Amino acid sequence: MSQKILLTGGAGYIGSHTYLALVSAGFTPVILDDFSNCSPAVLDRLQRLTGHPALCERGSVTDSGLVQRLLEQHRIGAVIHFAGFKAVGESVAQPLKYYANNIGGMVGLLQAMEASACRTLVFSSSATVYGDPASVPITEKFPVSHTNPYGHTKLVCEDMLAALRVAGPLWRMGVLRYFNPVGAHPSGLIGEDPAGLPNNLMPYVTQVAVGKRPYLNVYGRDYNTPDGTGVRDYIHVQDLAQGHVAAVQALLGKGESFTVNLGTGRGHSVLELVSAFERASGKTVPYQFAPRRAGDVAQCYADPSLAEDLLGWRATHSLADMCTDAWRWQQGNPEGYGQALAGDR
Ligand code: UDP
Q: Is 16:46 a contact under the CB 8 Å cutoff? A: yes
> Is residue 251 included in any domain, yes or no?
yes
Kindly state the greatest CA–CA separation across the chain. 56
What is the reported pLDDT for 295? Answer: 87
- Burial (CB < 10 A; 0-12, 13-18, 19+), residue 224, is exposed
User: 216-275, pLDDT tens digit by residue?
Assistant: 999 999 999 999 999 999 999 999 999 999 999 999 999 999 999 999 999 999 999 999
In terms of residue numbers, what domain contains 123? 4-338
Q: What φ, ψ does residue 96 adopt, rounded to 5°?
A: -65, -35
- 34 in any annotated domain: yes
Of 197, 199, 219, 235, the one to substitute when testing ligand 1's pocket (max ligand atoms within 8 A of C-beta) is 219
pLDDT tens digit sequence for 154-180 = 999 999 999 999 998 899 999 999 999
Q: Which of 146, 232, 288, when mutated, tests ligand 1's pocket best, judged by the most ligand atoms within 8 Å of its CB?
A: 232
The span from the CA of 173 to the CA of 257, in Å, is 5
Residue 190 lies in a domain: yes
Contact 319, 273 (CB under 8 A): yes
| 285, part of any domain | yes
Quote the number of domains for the chain. Answer: 1
Residues 6+ apart with CB under 8 A from 297: 131, 132, 133, 230
What confidence category does residue 128 fall into, taking pLDDT thresholds of 50, 70 and 90? very high
To the query of whether residue 215 is one of the catalytic residues in this protein, the response is no
**Per residue in 19-31, pLDDT tens?**
999 999 999 999 9
CATH number of the domain encompassing residue 266: 3.40.50.720
Q: Which amino acid makes up residue 101?
A: N
The active-site residue out of 130, 150, 223, 337 is 150
Give residue 159's pLDDT.
98
Asked, for residue 113, whether it belongs to a domain, the answer is yes
Is residue 343 domain-resident?
Answer: no
Would you call 47 helix, strand, or coil by DSSP?
A: helix
Average pLDDT over residues 82-99: 95
Residue 344 lies in a domain: no
What pLDDT score was predicted for residue 338? 85
Q: With respect to residue 104, please indicate whether it lies within any of the assigned structural domains.
A: yes
Question: Distance between CA atoms of 322 and 299, rounded to whole angstroms?
Answer: 20
Q: Which atom of ligand 1 is nearest to the CA of 204?
A: 8
pLDDT value, residue 146: 93
Q: What percent of the chain has pLDDT over 70?
A: 98
Q: Which residues line ligand 1 (CB under 6 A)?
A: 180, 199-201, 204, 216-219, 230, 232, 270, 293, 296
Residue 174's closest CA among 241, 248, 95, 90? 248
300 Cα nearest atom in ligand 1: 23
